Structure 1
């Protein structure tokens, strides 16, 4: 008898239309608006969406004073809540119905004096820990489950944007990978896609059979790796309750920073616990994640390990990281974790200023990157982000 051992791991993804993502995108639309016109802006603008209400709260220090109400409404329109779909006002959010309350205060000068230092250095905007991660499981050097869940989410979301008479944009996907054994899991060797879950709102006139046939065709056409996805063998759940019409923040509240696992590595690695969205580049919850991901990706891409986690920690007002720790989970090749940690600490400054200049974090633009787009697509794993570029590979390869 054939031995059918399994070792399963699952990650989920939500689209830009999910209420929590709406909050993230609005928060980062504010960050973009402030930094584009004043790169020295300091901002932490959390957002709460519930029903027809959007509350923007937090701290800002900037020479720029944008129209926050207009930023909120334009963000919702771009997400897909533009009032032009076939869904009624009772079924999803319409931008003209939104009531926006702005509760933004000045950032404390106690923080400013430690962040903007007379030497020109930037002190960390807060204390905390951040984790970057990379895995050889996919060409993006991301864990397989979240990468394929993203592919599916993007496919269904793009269809919904173009066919808003059929589907809504409040979408969730989930992928379970079967590694076959714990050993394969530890060595980054996925065997197959075991289960797929997709939930996407559909208009009331569409029978569930039609919805499921449509979404199944999108799954099959999404570009999942054929060596892992067998449409005849994979368990697929599409709108499992049989009805998903009412959606958007009208039917589920959203909060900035509540999708940290979705934003990062799908639960495959530790996370620092602090949100990236809503924060300017001096907040190391954001910049530290980007630096950690950049380092971990280089270590894996250079062939120094099959997977890698990089922990950075900071103290508020202090530029240099308090600690740097590399963990390759026993998959390192020529250099062990102690030497990799020492190399990273001694080779890269990793101050907020160094990270900011390295990735131009103070200069978001339509030509480079926008934080609102990063909030929608995930904080890591997208090849066009500056912190995903393998631009120092020869430095790491020299360690072999």
Structure 2
């Protein structure tokens, strides 16, 4: 293993004499929230994660037959544009799953067995699906014996879209799990999600997208942008919401680090290895998923 030092050209801007941390990179980070699920996350990515975890547990219980390089994808049907705008899911339309299997397993048996697990999980977790119409696509090529980085090229790590909102919102920045918390790719994402989540939890909007823009060597974001997609319940404009949030919260790397304890990961709060496996946002036990400033945000209504 080769571990090298970060360029001193970067630390000039990060380690400041005032004690503040400058942003470790430039970039635009996005936070998104909606009221489709109790987690204030889009339904499709939430359902996909539930099914992923079920398959992971199933593979762990049958290690001689299944591997854990598992991928799931869910398409939901809202039924109408009005339902989409209101965040009301009709049912799961399609489920895509990939799970490695032993060479001795027939694809027919794998597909039958895994579809049964998926159906039972959706029924148990009360994920809306149509027993007759929901389509399942499992191990699409008909063979998934060779897997993981040894079998595929072009892999750079976990897909950022899986770590965040499942394509419902812009991604911004780079892969969080390869960055420390001085990099706003990670800390800025957490802060943006925290803000967006509060806007929805406080009833200020049904959907909220928050953008934080940073430049390397500067602590505060260049701007805070809010888009409520016309779902706001307040008389304040989206621009005014952004201005008030920017005035209330410093949103510097040090403030974000201290707010969420990013320099003190521990079991029972959060571990970076756990986050790398589960996803960066959308889990209630993460510090940036707490509604700990709800009263202030409720004052925006």
* TM-score tier (shorter): over 0.9
Structure 1: 5+ residue stretches without partners? 1-101
Partner Cα distance (1:226, 1:264) in 2: 23
Partner Cα distance (2:69, 2:158) in 1: 15
Checking the alignment, whether the CA contact within 8 Å between 1:257 and 1:274 is kept in structure 2 is: no
Q: TM-score, normalised by structure 1?
A: 0.72
Alignment of 1:282 onto 2:191: no
Partner Cα distance (1:315, 1:242) in 2: 47
Checking the alignment, whether the CA contact within 8 Å between 2:149 and 2:155 is kept in structure 1 is: no
> Counterpart in 2 of 1:183?
82
Structure 1 counterpart of 2:41, from 139, 142, 147: 142
User: What is the CA-CA distance between 1:339 and the residue it aligns to?
Assistant: 2.2
Deviates more, 1:249-258 or 1:303-312: 249-258
Deviates more, 1:179-188 or 1:132-141: 179-188
Partner Cα distance (1:308, 1:171) in 2: 30
What pairs up with 1:1-400 in 2 under 5 angstroms? 102-223=1-122, 226=126, 228-253=128-153, 255-257=155-157, 259-334=159-234, 335-400=236-301
CA RMSD of aligned residues (A): 1.6
User: What is the CA-CA distance between 1:230 and the residue it aligns to?
Assistant: 2.3
Deviations 1:173-217 (A, max 9, x none): 111111122232222122111111111111122222321222122
Checking the alignment, whether the CA contact within 8 Å between 1:132 and 1:310 is kept in structure 2 is: yes
Question: What secondary structure does 1:119 align onto?
Answer: coil
Partner Cα distance (1:219, 1:241) in 2: 19
Partner Cα distance (1:336, 1:193) in 2: 34
Checking the alignment, whether the CA contact within 8 Å between 1:305 and 1:328 is kept in structure 2 is: yes
Q: TM-score, normalised by structure 2?
A: 0.94
Checking the alignment, whether the CA contact within 8 Å between 1:124 and 1:318 is kept in structure 2 is: yes
Question: What secondary structure does 1:159 align onto?
Answer: helix
Question: What secondary structure does 1:160 align onto?
Answer: helix
Partner Cα distance (2:274, 2:158) in 1: 17
Partner Cα distance (1:272, 1:134) in 2: 15
Checking the alignment, whether the CA contact within 8 Å between 2:29 and 2:211 is kept in structure 1 is: yes
Partner Cα distance (1:364, 1:255) in 2: 27
Partner Cα distance (1:320, 1:192) in 2: 42
Deviates more, 1:225-234 or 1:256-265: 225-234
User: What is the CA-CA distance between 1:394 and the residue it aligns to?
Assistant: 1.4
Question: What secondary structure does 1:222 align onto?
Answer: helix
Checking the alignment, whether the CA contact within 8 Å between 1:257 and 1:276 is kept in structure 2 is: no
- The total of aligned residue pairs comes to 299
Structure 2: 5+ residue stretches without partners? none
Structure with the higher fraction of residues in strand conformation: 1
Cα distance 1:261–1:387, how it changes in 2: closer, same or farther (>3 A)? same
Checking the alignment, whether the CA contact within 8 Å between 2:122 and 2:128 is kept in structure 1 is: no
